Amino acid sequence: MRAFFYFCTLNNIKIMKKNIVLFVLFILPIVAYLFFASGINSFTKLPVITPKVADFGQWKSLNGEKVSLNSKITILGFSGTELLKNRGNYFNINEKIYQRYHDFADLQFVVICPLGTENEARKIIDALDDFTDVSQWHFLFTTPQEINAYYDQLKLVGKLDKNLGTPNVYIVDKVRNLRGRKEKKDYKEGYNTFHLAELSNEMLDDFKVILYEYRAALKKNNNATKEL
């Protein structure tokens, strides 16, 4: 009887150890992933890097439409004079961000370009139009002096290159705050469109945080309206 009891106890211990190993190897990583994913995208706010950046004024656009930062989530870029040389950057962000979220009515992608590059911008729009609804892509044109002045008031660490461009794009919220990551170890004011991994990871994560903020606020406002 003692031998049988010992055998059963030993067998139970083995089963318990096996279950613990399975939990550590398979279940715990899934739980950790869900916890951190929900923590990043649901329970934090993306910090403000620069508050209340200037609007665009009366700058010319390709289609003559009025473009404003107000009441829009804006992905903002600076093309410089070499639009066609850097056209791959626009296709990257179009694929990784724009195509996933362009149905969101309050979203726009705005690229500030030097006067004289209208034909190059049109070629990029026409190429994107072959497989994308480009209604939320906007190219604006102004003088080099105004481009430099506008970029300077963003108060960023990074600088425009000699061609008045940068591969980075920036997230500007509906009240014209430029958003990013402020921690020293993780500082992020813009997202490099040349690097697909950066768009797929850092930018996509931060963009989801912005969307969550507005969806949570909208839900809260709707609930308040119902209570009234």
Q: What is the pLDDT of residues 75-133, one digit of tens each?
A: 999 999 999 999 999 999 999 999 999 999 899 999 999 999 999 999 999 999 999 99
Look at residue 7 in the predicted model and tell me its pLDDT: 47
Contact 162, 41 (CB under 8 A): no
Four-way CATH pick for 48-219: 3.40.50.970, 3.30.420.40, 3.40.50.150, 3.40.30.10 = 3.40.30.10
Q: What does the pLDDT look like over 106-118, one tens digit per residue?
A: 999 999 999 999 9
Contact 178, 53 (CB under 8 A): yes
Place of tokens 């609007």: 55
d(CA 156, CA 178): 10
Q: What does the pLDDT look like over 171-213, one tens digit per residue?
A: 999 999 999 999 989 999 999 999 999 999 999 999 999 999 9
d(CA 113, CA 171): 17
Q: Which residues on adjacent β-strands are paired with residue 76?
A: 110, 170
pTM higher than 0.75 for the full model? yes
Structure tokens at 109: 């992608």
More confident residue, 15 or 108: 108
Least confident of 27-36, 51-60, 126-135: 27-36
d(CA 228, CA 208): 30
| Domain range list for the chain | 1-43, 48-219
**Residue 2 pLDDT greater than 90, yes or no:** no
Contact 112, 53 (CB under 8 A): no
Look at residue 9 in the predicted model and tell me its pLDDT: 57
Q: What number is the average pLDDT over the span 14-37?
A: 57
